[in-house]
Amino acid sequence: MSTTESGVDFNDYRHVIGMMFFGGAGSNIARDLMDSIKPKDSPDLLLFVTNTDGKLLQEHFGDANISPLREWLSANALTVHQLGGREVTQGRGAGGESEEGRKAAETEVSKKAMKEFMERVDKVILIGGLGGGTGTGAIPVAAKLAKELNKETLAWVVMPEAEEGRADKAAPALELIRELVPTIKIQNDDIDEWIVDQIPDEQKRRALTFKQAWQIVNQRALVPLIVTLQDTLQNPGDVINSDAADDAAMMKMGHYVLLGKADIDDAEKVAEKNAEEIIKKLLACPFQDNRIIKRGVVASIAALGPWPKMLMKEIARGLRKEILGENPTRNIGVNIRNRSKMDNGKMWIAVTIVAKDLNDPTQPALPIPAPAQIAVVEVAKPLRRIPVPVSHRIPPAPPIVIQEVGPLVEAVASKASTGSNGDTPDIEIPNFIRK
């Protein structure tokens, strides 16, 4: 509790976000993220990295003298834990066996480490790849633990490419995680299409390494999530506000989550921007499941910078129209939050859409018949109702079998918008690609 000079009491509270990275994919993502974000710029962001493979942890996080690892450790913002200790894998990896990853996560030493970290934070984000051993087995365990601790939790999981042949293990794990916590699914298969669309030079495309491809996914899908969550949960909107409680309430409305973000570099010309172009950027959402857009039950807009009120309203109306699609009678709320202060002179706007499932909301539900009534016969004398004997009653109508309406697969083609000069995409392409 803090007291101002005027004598007003208030809770001096900061929402702490804890990001937990699992397995080989999680370790790679964490290492790349630590190169992109500095702890001094994110004082309320804590990282927890865990893997069954002790050698890989040593490779990525063993030398505390290397920056930025040193900065994260000095800030007491990084925890590195070998999952399962020596009890399950003896410090080796899980060998692609999700059962080994699950057993390692359920050991007392690892459950204690995860619980202690979760108790330090307010919101938990679970990050890793599915289809292998450690992440596939451990993330559901962590999701269950977070739920038991009543922690606001969001999963950000990467699905394998078709060529990897691991979809049969990844899909059940995804459904298990999604049953426990709201989930953003990242589709690795989409990266090839994105590269073809955004890098016209074939020579540069062919020279792209696995690490550079991972960096593209991180910068396009994970970093926007972190930036949006940090600003929404930790900084109050000074014009229109929503906070951590609003975020938690929205996430309770469904476990399918999509997040899109659009950056505005020229703040002075924001009033000249076209709402439709901004909406197109917001809903591009590279590597995510765009079917969520048409299935949304609630949406939230977070905007940073002095956005014109009329433009914000046009964007909100346009987003609502995109979500409702061919079923305008469906009810959906679009919350708006705006903080007018800009970071480094840049403005941005982000949208979060939550869906209950991927069933098609435009299909009408089949009518359910009323229960069969007992037949009666009217007679003249005496005037009374006589129940018909059981053997003579009209048999009830056979039950109507209501078939489940399958999901309507809608391919929402999301191309990067063309720039003001007509040929340059309005996107940030990493420097290593521009060379």
Same domain, 64 and 134: yes
Q: What is the pLDDT of residue 125?
A: 95
Q: Determine the average pLDDT of the residues in 353-374.
A: 57
Query: Which of 24-33, 85-94, 168-177, 417-426 has the highest average model confidence (pLDDT)?
Result: 168-177
Res 429 pLDDT > 50: no
Which of 99-103, 255-259, 364-368 is predicted with the least confidence, judged by mean pLDDT? 364-368
Q: Which residue's structure tokens are 């020579």?
A: 203
- Within a domain: 48: yes
Q: What is the pLDDT of residue 37?
A: 84
Cβ atoms of 24 and 53 closer than 8 Å:
yes
- Within a domain: 252: yes
More confidently predicted of 407 and 311: 311
Res 434 pLDDT > 50: no
Res 403 pLDDT > 50: no
Cβ atoms of 412 and 283 closer than 8 Å:
yes
Determine the straight-line distance between the first and last CA of the chain, rounded to whole angstroms: 52
Q: What is the pLDDT of residue 164?
A: 80
More confidently predicted of 3 and 106: 106
Q: Around Cβ 137, how many Cβ atoms within 10 Å? A: 27
Nearest to 247 by CA among 298, 203, 286: 298
Same domain, 72 and 185: yes
Of 171, 205, 234, the residue that ends a domain is 234
Distance CA(35)–CA(83), nearest Å, equals 24
For residue 329, the domain's CATH number is 3.30.1330.20
pTM: predicted TM-score of the whole model, two decimal places: 0.77
Same domain, 149 and 245: no
How many domains does the chain contain in total?
A: 2
Same domain, 214 and 269: no
- Kindly state the tokens that stand for 357: 């499932």
Same domain, 78 and 210: yes
Res 166 pLDDT > 90: no
The three-point CA angle 214-277-325 to 5° equals 90
Burial class (CB in 10 A: 0-12, 13-18, 19+), 264: buried
- Within a domain: 401: no
Same domain, 191 and 297: no
- Within a domain: 263: yes
Res 385 pLDDT > 70: no
Q: Determine the average pLDDT of the residues in 274-292.
A: 91
Cβ atoms of 422 and 415 closer than 8 Å:
no
Same domain, 141 and 175: yes
- Within a domain: 381: yes
Q: What is the pLDDT of residue 7?
A: 59
Of 182, 217, 234, the residue that ends a domain is 234
Res 153 pLDDT > 50: yes
In tens, the pLDDT along 1-11 reads 455 555 555 55
Nearest to 302 by CA among 344, 377, 369, 250: 250
More confidently predicted of 4 and 290: 290
Distance CA(272)–CA(253), nearest Å, equals 35
Same domain, 116 and 61: yes
Which residue type is seen at 229?
Answer: L
In tens, the pLDDT along 205-257 reads 888 888 888 788 888 888 888 888 888 777 777 766 677 778 888 898 999 99
Same domain, 275 and 359: yes
Give the up-direction half-sphere exposure of residue 25: CA atoms within 13 A in the CB hemisphere: 25
More confidently predicted of 125 and 368: 125
Same domain, 307 and 225: no
Distance CA(249)–CA(253), nearest Å, equals 7
Same domain, 148 and 173: yes
Q: What is the pLDDT of residue 79?
A: 94
Q: At what angle do helices 23-36 and 223-234 cross, to 10 degrees?
A: 70
In tens, the pLDDT along 18-32 reads 999 999 999 988 988
Q: Which residue's structure tokens are 């739920």?
A: 147
Same domain, 180 and 81: yes
Please report which confidence band the pLDDT of residue 35 belongs to, taking 50, 70 and 90 as the band edges.
Answer: confident
Of 390, 413, 430, the residue that ends a domain is 390
For residue 37, the domain's CATH number is 3.40.50.1440
Which of 3-17, 132-146, 153-167 is predicted with the least confidence, judged by mean pLDDT? 3-17
CA distances to 101, 206, 214, 312, 325 from 209, rounded to whole Å, are: 28, 8, 9, 39, 39
The parent domain of residue 99 ranges over 11-234
Distance of CA 332 to the CA centre of its chain: 19
Res 299 pLDDT > 50: yes
Q: Determine the average pLDDT of the residues in 276-290.
A: 91
Q: Determine the average pLDDT of the residues in 407-415.
A: 36
Q: What is the pLDDT of residue 387?
A: 52
Cβ-proximal residues to 368 (8 Å cutoff; 6+ apart), any chain: 400, 402
Q: Determine the average pLDDT of the residues in 106-133.
A: 95
Please report which confidence band the pLDDT of residue 414 belongs to, taking 50, 70 and 90 as the band edges.
Answer: very low
Q: What is the pLDDT of residue 257?
A: 95
Q: What percent of the chain has pLDDT over 70?
A: 77
Nearest to 42 by CA among 22, 64, 68: 68
More confidently predicted of 28 and 415: 28
Chain length of the chain? 435
pLDDT averaged over the chain? 79
Q: What is the 3-state secondary structure (H, E, C) of the chain?
A: CEECCCCCEECCCCCCEEEEEEHHHHHHHHHHHHHHCCHHHCCCEEEEEEECCHHHHHHHHCCCCCCCHHHHHHCCCEEEEECCCCCCCCCCCCCCCHHHHHHHHCCHHHHHHHHHHHCCCCEEEEEEECCCCHHHHHHHHHHHHHHHCCCEEEEEEEECCHHHCCHHHHHHHHHHHHHHCCEEEEECCHHHHHHHHHCCCHHHHHCCCHHHHHHHHHHHHHHHHHHHHHHHHHCCCCCECCCHHHHHHHHCCCCEEEEEEEEECCHHHHHHCCHHHHHHHHCCCCCCCCHHHHHEEEEEEEEECCCCHHHHHHHHHHHHHHHHCCCCCCCCEEEEEEECCCECCEEEEEEEEEECCCCCCCCCCCCCCCCCCCCEEECCCCCCEEECCHHHCCCCCCCCCCCCCCCCCCCCCCCCCECCCCCCECCCCCHHHHC
Q: What percent of the chain has pLDDT over 90?
A: 36
